[in-house]
Chain A
Amino acid sequence: MKLLFDDALCEEIVEREMENRALGGDLALGQDFRKAADAVYRAVPLPKRQAAFQGLYQKTLSSLLHPGRLKALIAKMEPHGSLPASCVFLRAFKGEEEGAQLSEGRGMLGIRIRTATFLDEAASAYLLRHELTHIQDLLDPPFYHDPISPLGQETPFEESLLRDRYRTLWDLTVDGRLERRGQLPPEMRERRAAEFRSLFPSLDEENAAEVFGVLWSGPRPSDPELRRMVKGAQELCACLGVPLRAPAHASRLAPRPGGAPCPLCRFTTFEWSEVTPGLTQAVRADYPAWTPSQGLCTQCANRYLLGALFAPAPRSDDRTLAASLTGGSIR
C-alpha cells in the first residue's frame, strides 16, 4: 500500500520529532533541516516557497522510521489484499476526530490521526489495526454494507442515537477480534464495555455483561444484523439469542428512553431532568395533571426553575437599584 501524508500532518510530525530529539540531546536532525531550509529561503522565489517547504518536510518524513513502521504493520493485516492501494494520512486535532474513511470510488483510504498518536508506536498500531479492520469489514461482500439507508425512521435524534449504538457495537466486535489476535491494549475491553452499557441502559448489569460477552467473543455480525441490534435492548438480545431480563428497578423508572418526546414541550430529548419537589410544584402550576414519573426534559426544567426564581422576587425601587449599580448612594 502506498502511504501519503497531508502537508500539515507531515510538518507537525517532523517538527515534533526534531523537538523530541533535541530534548534528548540529539541536534543533528534539526541542524540538517535548518541547513536545507536556509537554502530554500536563499534560492526559491517567494511564490514557490511554500511548495518547496512542503517538499522538504515530506523528504524529511520519509527519512524517518515512522512511515516504514506503518507500512510494515499494514502489510501484516490479513487479508491485506482487500484494502485499497493507497492511503492518505490526515491531521486530527482531537481523539474523537481520529478514524478512517474510504473515498467515494473506494480506491483510496483516508486516516485521520493526531501527531501524538502517530509518534506513539503502540497507540498508532492500535488505531491502524482497529480502523483497517473496520475497512476490511466494509469491503467484505458478506458484510452487506449499506452506506445509503438511514438507521432510523423517525427523527434526527433517533438517527443520532442509533448511529452511536451502531458505531459502538461494531467497535466492540472489532476489538474483540483484535484481542483474540493478541493486538488489543489492555484497557480497551473495559472502555468498550462502559460505552456499551451507557447506550443500552435498560439492560441490567448482569444481562449487559452477558450480551457484551457474546458480541465480544462471537462471530462478526453483518451490517443488516447490526442495524437490527441497534433498535433496542429487546432486538439486541433477540439477535444474539440472549434472554432479556427485566431490570430489578424497572418499576421505579418511568419509560423515558433517550429520543422520546418530553411530555411538556413534545420535543424529543436525550436529556431528562432530575425532578425535585420545587420543580414539581412549579410545573404543576401550569400542568396540574403532570406527574414526576412522566419526566421532563432539561430545557423545560430550566424554564420552570428560572420562572420560580424570578416570580416571587420583590422588586427593588429605583433608588436602591441605582445605588447598587454605582456602588454608592445617589442623591
Chain B
Amino acid sequence: MPQVYNWQLGRKMEYPYEERHPERQFAFVFNINRCIGCQTCSMSCKSTWTFSKGQEYMWWNNVETKPYGGYPQHWDVKTLQLLEEANPDGQVWDATQNGAQRPYGAFGGMTIFEAAQRRIGPEGPQRVLGYLPTDEEWRFPNIGEDTAKGQKGAALSFDREGVRLPEHKSWFFYLQRICNHCTYPACLAACPRKAIYKRPEDGIVLIDQERCRGYRKCVEACPYKKSMFRVTTRTSEKCVGCYPRIEGKEPLAKGAVWETRCMTACVGKIRLQGLVTIDPKTGGWADDPQNPLHFLVKKEKVALPLYPQFGTEPNGYYIPPRWVPRAYLRQMFGPGADEAVEKYSAPSRELLAVLQLFRAQQAVISRYDIKPGPKVFETTINGKPWALYNDTVIGYDDKGRELVRVTVEEPFLKRPGERPNSI
C-alpha cells in the first residue's frame, strides 16, 4: 500500500492511494470555548442543503454535547474502540519527538487505514476500519444535550467544587461538526466505485451522485460519520463545503469568496474558515504567517485537529475548551491539548487580535495585519503578568482588499438621548 506523509501524526502512514495535494485547502477553526449550542449553524445548513425528502435525518452540520452526545450516537467511542481492539494498548503518542514537521510529536499507534488490514472479512482485508451506524443511531441528532459528566461514583450529586478551574469536575461542552474535508479522506479510500473525489483547486471532498451506487462504504469508513445515506436517491451525500461560495458564486458576495453558510450564520462568533495554500513540494501548509488559519494552527498551535489519531488528516481545527479534564482533551485533540489550553487561557497579544476576526464579516480572510494600540489593562494570570492592548486587526481578502477592521477592546458607542425608535 502506498505511503503518505501525515504531518498531524508526525510520520508516514499507509493509504490506498498515492500522495496528492490540492493547490489550496478548505480549512476552518472552531473556538469551542465560545459556542452556546444554539444550533443556528445546523439550521442554516439544513435550510440550504438538506431540506428535501429523504434528508430528514441528515445533518451535515451538527452540534453535539460532549461527553455523552453524538450524531450518530457513540460515533467516536465506537471508532476508538475498534482501533483499541485492533491494536490493544498501542494507540500512543510520543510527544517528545516534536518539531516543525511533527508539531504534536509522533503517533505510534495505528490509523484506521493501517488497522483495517487486521480485519479480514469474506472479501479480504478492509480498506478502512469502520462500522455502519444503525438507523436508530441516526435518529437523535442532539441526544444528550447539556448532560454533564459528574463526579465518579456520585451520580446526581451536587458538587460545590464541581466548576473550579483549571479542570471542572462536572463538565460538558459543545462540539461543532461538519465534514473535515480530510487530506486523506477515508470515504474516498473506501468507495468501491471511485465516486468520491477531492477537488484540486480547494481540497473540498465531494461525492459524484452519478457514479454513487449506494454501497455505503463511505458511511462505514468515515470515522467522523459525516457521509450519510439518502433513501430516496439510494446514494450517499455529505457536506459540500458550500462550494459555490468558495468559488465566488454567492450572488450577494459579488464575486468575492465567502465563508460557508454554517460559518457566517454563527451568532457566537466561534467560527473562522478560509483556504490555506499548500506547498507543492512538501504537501503540507505553505509558510503563510499572515493567514489567520496558519497563525492559529501552525504558529500559535492553539487550534487542534479532531481525533488526529484516526489518520485522515482532518482540515477542521478546534480551540479546545479550557475547563475540560486534560485526559479527555488529549484523547480528542491529541497531545497538543495542554499547550493549546495554556495559550488560550492567557492569550498572546497577536492571538487576542486574531480572535477578533472570528465572524467579523462574511468574506474569507486571507491575510491580516495588526496596528499596535495602547495598553488598557494589566493583571496576572496563572501567576504571570498579562497585559491587554487595544490593537486594531485588519483583515484582507485574497486580492489584498481590506475586508474588515476591528479593535481588541469593544468600542463603546453612545446613542443620542432621543431617537425615533427608542423604547
Using CB atoms and an 8 Å cutoff, list the residues of chain A in contact with chain B.
8, 12, 22-23, 25, 27, 37-38, 40-41, 46, 49-50, 53, 93, 306, 309, 313, 324-331
Contacts and interface: CB of A to CB of B under 8 A. Distances in A.
A328 B342 CA distance: 12
Interface stretch (B35-43, B94-102, B147-155, B380-388): B380-388
A235 to B, nearest CB: 36
Contacts of A8: 135
A167 B295 CA distance: 64
A326 B233 contact: no
Interface in B194-240: 213-214, 231-234
Contacts of B135: 8, 12, 93
A49 B123 contact: no
A23 B121 contact: yes
Given A37-B214, A50-B234, A328 B380 contact: yes
A324 B383 contact: no
Given A50-B231, A324-B164, A306 B380 contact: no
Interface in B307-350: 345
Q: Is the interface of B mostly helix, strand, loop or mixed?
A: loop
Given A23-B122, A37-B214, A328 B383 contact: yes
A22 B234 CA distance: 22
Contact of B166 (A41, A93, A309, A327): A327
Contact of A313 (B160, B166, B383): B160
Given A27-B122, A328-B382, A330-B379, A49 B232 contact: yes
Contact of A327 (B121, B123, B160, B165): B165
Contact of A331 (B123, B160, B165, B378): B378
A46 B139 CA distance: 25
A134 to B, nearest CB: 26
Given A37-B213, A327-B165, A327-B381, 17 more contacts: A12-B135, A22-B121, A22-B122, A22-B123, A23-B122, A41-B213, A49-B234, A50-B231, A309-B160, A313-B160, A324-B165, A325-B165, A326-B381, A327-B345, A328-B380, A329-B383, A330-B380
Given A8-B135, A309-B158, A309-B160, A25 B233 contact: no
Contacts of A46: 233
B89 interface: no
B412 to A, nearest CB: 22
Given A12-B135, A22-B122, A325-B165, A331 B380 contact: yes
B54 interface: yes
Interface string B111-128: 000000000011100000
B136 interface: yes
Nearest to B231: A50
A127 B123 CA distance: 35
Contact of A53 (B123, B164, B234, B383): B234
Nearest to B136: A93
Contact of B122 (A12, A25, A38, A330): A25
B167 to A, nearest CB: 9
Contacts of B345: 326-327
The 5 A-B pairs of least Cβ separation, nearest first, read: A327-B165, A328-B382, A93-B136, A328-B381, A327-B166
B235 to A, nearest CB: 9
A329 B158 CA distance: 26
B214 A326 contact: no
B246 to A, nearest CB: 26
A330 B377 CA distance: 11
A12 B54 CA distance: 16
Contact of B382 (A25, A37, A327): A327
Contacts of B121: 22-23
A38 B213 contact: yes
17 contacts: A37-B214, A46-B233, A49-B232, A50-B54, A50-B231, A50-B234, A53-B234, A93-B136, A306-B158, A324-B164, A324-B165, A327-B345, A328-B381, A330-B379, A330-B380, A331-B378, A331-B380
Contacts of A327: 165-166, 345, 381-382
Contacts of A49: 232-234
A325 B382 CA distance: 11
Contacts of A38: 213
A112 to B, nearest CB: 14
Contacts of A93: 135-136, 139
Contacts of B233: 46, 49-50
A38 B164 CA distance: 59
A28 to B, nearest CB: 11
Contacts of B166: 327
A98 to B, nearest CB: 14
B174 to A, nearest CB: 19
Contacts of A325: 165
A41 B380 contact: no
A71 to B, nearest CB: 26
